[in-house]
Amino acid sequence: MTEPVIEFFWDPVSPYTYLASTRIEALALRVGAVLRWRPFLLGKVLEATGNRPNIDVPAKGRHMLADLARWAQHYGVPLVAPPIFPISTVTALRAGLAAEQAGRGPAFATAVMRAYWGEGRDISQAQTLLAVAAAAGLDGAALLAQTQEPAIKDALRSNTDEAVRRGAFGAPTFFVGEQMFWGNDRLGILEECLAGDLSA
């Protein structure tokens, strides 16, 4: 029997994506699924779909702070206010694609999200990304050089366009085939569907 594949479209600018990243690997193991980390540019997804970030809606923004704190406590993971929010994540996302080519995509993805949301570090800065790459077992200088390669730039655009084409409108977004699950709070539903406890 073919293992199911979970495609995890991620952007470290999203705090809920960070939260989901602390749980998705264990979930995939429990249900016997293959996990594919797919970097995509959330800002372009929001733009393409007419969606608005929580911070653009004052009531949602206020609620988000308390909600994030609850989720972090529930998961037992650190959460700090980053120095700049929102932040440009283009280079970090391209680095994620380069890390994937080196077989270290998940390690880099979790490290960069932990750096931003767990440690409050500025992941738009090259020095931070060099340190994140080292923590993920990668050559940071080589990785950053790859972020300027046309193929890497094209791959990020392609991932983003594909996510929108398949129905994504925010982050985190998960696909199992053409079934889409959106949000950290849908992880339980995703797991039940993969376990066969819920119909698609």
Average the pLDDT over 62-77 and give the result: 94
Degrees, nearest 5: CA angle 104-12-41: 95
pLDDT above 60 for 60: yes
| pLDDT digit string, tens, across residues 147-161 | 999 999 999 999 999
Tell me, what's the pLDDT at 199? 66
pLDDT at 166 over 60: yes
Which of 49-53, 138-142, 143-147, 175-179 is the least confident region? 49-53
Q: Which of 53-57, 156-160, 187-191 has the lowest mean pLDDT?
A: 53-57
Confidence (pLDDT) at 62:
83
Q: Is 8 left (phi over 0), alpha (psi -120 to 50) or beta?
A: beta
Residue 17 has pLDDT above 90, yes or no: yes
The alpha carbons of the chain give a radius of gyration, in whole angstroms, of 16
Burial 67-91 (b: 16+ CB within 10 A, else e): bbeebbeeeebebeebeeeebebbb
Confidence at residue 1, expressed as pLDDT on a 0 to 100 scale = 63
* Domains (range + CATH), the chain: 5-195 (3.40.30.10)
**Which helix (H) or strand (E) segment is 134 a member of?**
helix 126-135
Cα distance between residue 182 and residue 175, in whole Å: 9
Whether the predicted pLDDT of 23 surpasses 80: yes
Q: What is the pLDDT of residues 95-142, one digit of tens each?
A: 999 999 999 999 999 999 999 999 999 999 999 999 999 999 999 999
- Look over the chain and give the mean of its residue pLDDT values, rounded to a whole number: 95
| Catalytic site includes residue 158 | no
Q: For 17-28, what is the mean pLDDT?
A: 98
Instruction: Round to the nearest angstrom and report the end-to-end CA distance of the chain.
Output: 18
Write out pLDDT tens, residues 78-97: 999 998 999 999 999 999 99
Q: Which of 14, 124, 158, 199 is catalytic?
A: 14
- pLDDT the model gives residue 132: 97
